[in-house]
Chains A and B, each alone.
Chain A
């Protein structure tokens, strides 16, 4: 029973990482209608930035805000320099460009840091842990960080002027321009925020998976499934789905012999296909789409 509970907590912490990256995908898509295939690789890049800072001797809780700031600015720069050229285009150009970015960032990280696997320090104190409870404790830490991040995001969107303007742009970019909102800047800020949110996912998952340029590939697949559940618009549904996928994956991998470790990745595919088959009408128009 304790084993099951630990599995669930671990599943939740993995799910929190999926939820974080899914949230980043939703953020980008809400503001400029683009599915960012490079979201995982940008998060990986942020994890390397954090690793570099830690390697230089910074304590973890100092490296985290610096990394987030770097990711925010980096995301805005990427939007301004590359993505802006394809915003508003039909599907091919935006998808192709973010796929190109994904491939490029992945390879560039390999060039700079090599494809070798590195261990990433676990930010949560091991002193309080003994035996298997250690992983349980750090899983709770991951959950806590993701929860705090979501509360902060919610507060930002609900209770600040900048958040209000961003929600207005997400609701109707043309009406926002007619109210004097510089939509281009908001779209850039959306990318920056998404990159920062993704960075948290990357930094949290790095100790669990080890740091390497390909570490986010699998996470991205789960995050896509979670984002599809939310129609790429609904952040709450995406987060809940991310948590659920994490638990489902962990339990299925452990308790369903047929699935095992190899076949776990089929879970997100099944979820996506099920959502696509069951959903009616244009995605994202129904329900809680307007809620942050």
Chain B
């Protein structure tokens, strides 16, 4: 045990003190109205332009990869609500992804429903499931959410296999890929990319609004100090359960997009490993930041696949080691490291 922590007794007090510390009014927070170059807005605008231009510049395979980054980014945005902002761990977001994907596959592939309808259905179903699972697990203090979601993630593939008449069993189901309306003149991959980009933009905006709303601030308060939050009239259990519902919904939506983009779903795409990789991506991308999920999406899309080429065991070794190293030595993740680097550059520029 590190000496500085003095057992567990003082942590509550420390947490309050630290929260207080973080809110000290400094610089612009204190009413400093000096004009600062709006780095954040400039970066966002540049990113938006680049994101819209990408499908017309890159070759189709790269466009597909970028689409997958966004799909995983949406799922991670949801997971980050629980992990980064709620301070709780879910190891079951692969299961919600699977449910969203299978809803899309069954609705459009089997029942012939127009594909945009699958999105709200998947969102609703996964929101409900998340709430149903989160409520009992988050009512109790303790690591129950991590355990129950882990077990859920382990159960989903065999359940899919068991009900093969609906789900196609281990053979999987193919999903009709949404085709672009002819007036757009877009190729299929470009259309899919733009579709996913639009959903991702809405998802990011919604997450941002959610976090800046009363509910979001309550969630942060609950993470920082549940006891204090409860005294202030915030019910930790219900806020966390609601956040978990939203979070599951993001994963469900990402699942539907996944089905559209990949055009095929099978139980083996949604094993526990997927849930673990998603958690790894949140941790490595940077929990509690809005940039983290995108960086995490890059991780999910590229790192395991690249490592696979070096051998079957390598993805596990790389992900496992990365999780441990990042948690122990860089708990703010890649987003935190980038922020520090950017801060360093800005300071150097300011000095020069």
Contact residues of A with B, CB < 8 Å?
33, 35, 37, 82, 84-88, 90-93, 95-97, 99-108, 110-111, 115, 173-174, 177, 183-184, 187, 217-218, 221, 224-225, 227-228, 231-232, 260, 262-263, 265-266, 268-269, 272-273, 276-277, 279, 282-284
Contact residues of B with A, CB < 8 Å?
1-2, 5, 7-9, 11, 83, 87-89, 91, 133, 136-137, 139-144, 146-148, 150-152, 154-155, 158-159, 161-162, 223, 272, 276, 279-280, 283, 287, 311-317, 319-324, 327-328, 331
A104 to B275, CA, bound (A): 15
- Report the minimal beta-carbon distance from A286 to chain B, rounded to whole angstroms: 12
> Once the chains bind, are A263 and B147 in contact (CB under 8 Å)?
no
Given contacts A85-B2, A217-B272, A224-B147, 11 further A-B contacts (CB under 8 A): A35-B147, A88-B5, A90-B223, A92-B88, A108-B317, A111-B313, A187-B1, A228-B148, A262-B161, A272-B144, A272-B147
> Once the chains bind, are A104 and B316 in contact (CB under 8 Å)?
yes
Task: Given A92-B83, A174-B7, A174-B8, decide whether A265 and B158 contact each other with a Cβ distance below 8 A.
Answer: yes
> Once the chains bind, are B141 and A107 in contact (CB under 8 Å)?
no
- Report the minimal beta-carbon distance from B148 to chain A, rounded to whole angstroms: 5
> Once the chains bind, are A115 and B312 in contact (CB under 8 Å)?
yes
List 8 A–B pairs whose Cβ atoms lie within 8 Å, in order of A's numbering.
A37-B91, A84-B2, A106-B320, A110-B316, A111-B313, A224-B150, A265-B158, A276-B144
On chain A, the residues within 8 Å of B143 by CB distance are 35, 91, 95, 232
**Nearest chain B residue, comparing its CB with the CB of A281:** B140
On chain A, the residues within 8 Å of B83 by CB distance are 92
A173 to B7, CA, bound (A): 7
**Nearest chain B residue, comparing its CB with the CB of A282:** B141
> Once the chains bind, are A221 and B87 in contact (CB under 8 Å)?
no
> Once the chains bind, are A92 and B320 in contact (CB under 8 Å)?
no
- Report the minimal beta-carbon distance from A202 to chain B, rounded to whole angstroms: 18
On chain A, the residues within 8 Å of B316 by CB distance are 103-104, 106-108, 110
On chain B, the residues within 8 Å of A35 by CB distance are 143, 146-147
Task: Given A92-B83, A96-B327, decide whether A104 and B317 contact each other with a Cβ distance below 8 A.
Answer: yes
A177 to B7, CA, bound (A): 9
Task: Given A104-B317, A272-B148, decide whether A86 and B327 contact each other with a Cβ distance below 8 A.
Answer: yes
> Once the chains bind, are B154 and A265 in contact (CB under 8 Å)?
yes
Task: Given A102-B320, A104-B320, A269-B155, decide whether A283 and B276 contact each other with a Cβ distance below 8 A.
Answer: no
Closest 8 pairs between A and B when the two form their complex, measured CB to CB: A107-B316, A104-B320, A100-B323, A103-B320, A276-B136, A111-B313, A110-B313, A174-B7
On chain B, the residues within 8 Å of A217 by CB distance are 154, 272
**Nearest chain A residue, comparing its CB with the CB of B133:** A273
Task: Given A35-B146, A91-B146, A273-B136, decide whether A99 and B323 contact each other with a Cβ distance below 8 A.
Answer: yes
On chain A, the residues within 8 Å of B323 by CB distance are 96-97, 99-100, 103
Task: Given A96-B279, A104-B324, A272-B148, decide whether A266 and B155 contact each other with a Cβ distance below 8 A.
Answer: yes
